Structure 1
Amino acid sequence: MMPYTYILINFFTVIICFLASFDRRIQFNKLFGTFLLSSTIVAVPFIAWDIWFTGMGVWWFDLKYTLGIEVAGLPVEEWLFFYCIPFACVFTYYCMDKFFSLDWLSHFNNLIVFTSVIILGVTGLLFYHKIYTLLTVMVTISTLCYLHFIAHKEWIGKASLVYFLLMPGFFAVNGILTGSVISSPVVNYNPDAFLGIRMITIPVEDAVYGYSQFLLTIYFFKKLNKNEK
């Protein structure tokens, strides 16, 4: 089972959402093409980031948990990760938006953006020598500022709530990858590259990294889907 660990993580992350997509009340299957395009747009820079950091030794993968197939220095499972995780996230957001009235959360946009930018900005200034921390801070601040001040998106509060609700899944998936319930991590981190603050075994930067990826995928999904605002 060990060589199949990472591929099974991807599979179990996506399978329930994939099957539920065909429910006639949801019909997310009609948006598979839109999702694939939007997630690819976001995946390209994030995968480039991943390749760069892997090459630098910021993080690395224990290949005993993978199928042994690598593309550009990354296990094939890592490439799939950039589609499986966003799929589950976007599907959840889509369902929450479809079945619940969450527009009132737009009132929290200013609070979320300003608080996040201040905290992240201070963290980046204090720990600029930690490359994973610094780049994560820069990407997330840029994402929030673009969505709020330039694109004027009203769904930041809504998306933030959905991301918070996805945290149990985040802890399950990233927990396994970082060694919470297995003998050693699938993904290992250079301690000089991040804050060293872990949520159980998960670097706190992972949650911020995931937040920016989630927001950007939602942005492009909505932009490409004519029925979404």
Structure 2
Amino acid sequence: MQQYTYLLINIFTVIICFIFSFDKRIRFDQYFKAFAVAAVLTAIPFIAWDIWFAARGVWWFNKDYTIGVLLAGLPVEEWLFFICIPFSCTFTYFCLRKFFYISWANGFNNMIVFATCVGCILIALLHHFQLYTLVTAVAATLTMIFLHFIVKAGWIGEASLVYFCLMPGFFVVNGVLTGTGLEAPVVNYNPHEILNIRMLTIPVEDAVYGYTQFLLVIYFFKLFSPLPVLQKAAY
């Protein structure tokens, strides 16, 4: 069963959200196509990033925890990761907006963008020799600039709030992938390419990486949704 570890992580991450997508009170199934487009468009640069880093030895995957099928040097489970995790995150965002008033968080848009950009730029300048740290900081900064200043996204605050609410799941999934509860990590990191600041076993860069990916998925999801993403407050 050990070789199915990463595959099972993906399945358990998505299965409950997928089942409840068909609930008549939620009907997230109406947004499957929009999500698929959003996930694929976001996955393209992130998978390219993944392949590049794996080739350079920034991170690598423990073959003991995968089924052994590789695509472009990545385990097939890693490809599924870019569908399963965004699905659960987008589903959670959709449900929280549908059943709760969270648009109040958008009042903090400017503060969030400013803090993220300044923090990431400083980190990039101070740690430009550590590749994962540098690329993650630059990607987060460019994403914020794109969303806030170019497309004028007004939902950064509420998306950030939802990402914070997703943190327990983040710690469980990324914790297992980075070795929590296992004899060895599923994903290993070159210590010379990260800050080596860990949240339990999780490199802090992973949280910024996930945040950037989440924001881009939500942007494309909204862009291609056939219906408004419902909320108690006006969209």
Output the CA distance in 2 between the equivalents of 1:107 and 1:211. 19
Q: Is the 8 A contact 2:31 2:226 kept in 1?
A: no
Output the CA distance in 1 between the equivalents of 2:31 and 2:150. 26
Over residues 17-46 of structure 1, what are the superposed CA-to-partner deviations in whole Å (9 max), with x where a residue is unaligned? 000100001000111111111100000110
Which range is displaced more, 117-126 or 202-211? 117-126
Which residue identity is paired with 2:179?
G
Over residues 84-129 of structure 1, what are the superposed CA-to-partner deviations in whole Å (9 max), with x where a residue is unaligned? 0000000000001111112221110011110111111111100000
Which residue identity is paired with 1:118?
V
Is 1:197 equivalent to 2:214 in the alignment?
no
Output the CA distance in 2 between the equivalents of 1:88 and 1:224. 18
Output the CA distance in 2 between the equivalents of 1:226 and 1:65. 39
Output the CA distance in 1 between the equivalents of 2:59 and 2:103. 39
- Find the counterpart in structure 2 of residue 214 from structure 1: 214
- Find the counterpart in structure 2 of residue 52 from structure 1: 52
Output the CA distance in 1 between the equivalents of 2:115 and 2:148. 13
- Find the counterpart in structure 2 of residue 182 from structure 1: 182
Output the CA distance in 2 between the equivalents of 1:58 and 1:28. 37
TM-score w.r.t. structure 1 length? 0.99
Which range is displaced more, 146-155 or 79-88? 146-155
Output the CA distance in 2 between the equivalents of 1:221 and 1:167. 21
- Find the counterpart in structure 2 of residue 119 from structure 1: 119
The runs of at least 4 aligned residues of structure 1 exceeding 2 Å deviation read 226-229
TM-score w.r.t. structure 2 length? 0.96
Instruction: Please give the secondary structure, in 2, of the residue aligned with 1:192.
Output: helix
Identity among equivalent positions (%) equals: 58
Which residue identity is paired with 2:44?
V
| Number of residue pairs matched by the alignment | 229
Is 1:73 equivalent to 2:73 in the alignment?
yes
Structure ranking higher on relative contact order (CA contacts 8 Å, 6+ apart): 2
Return the offset for 1:144.
0.7
Give me the CA root mean square deviation.
Answer: 0.8
Output the CA distance in 2 between the equivalents of 1:154 and 1:33. 23
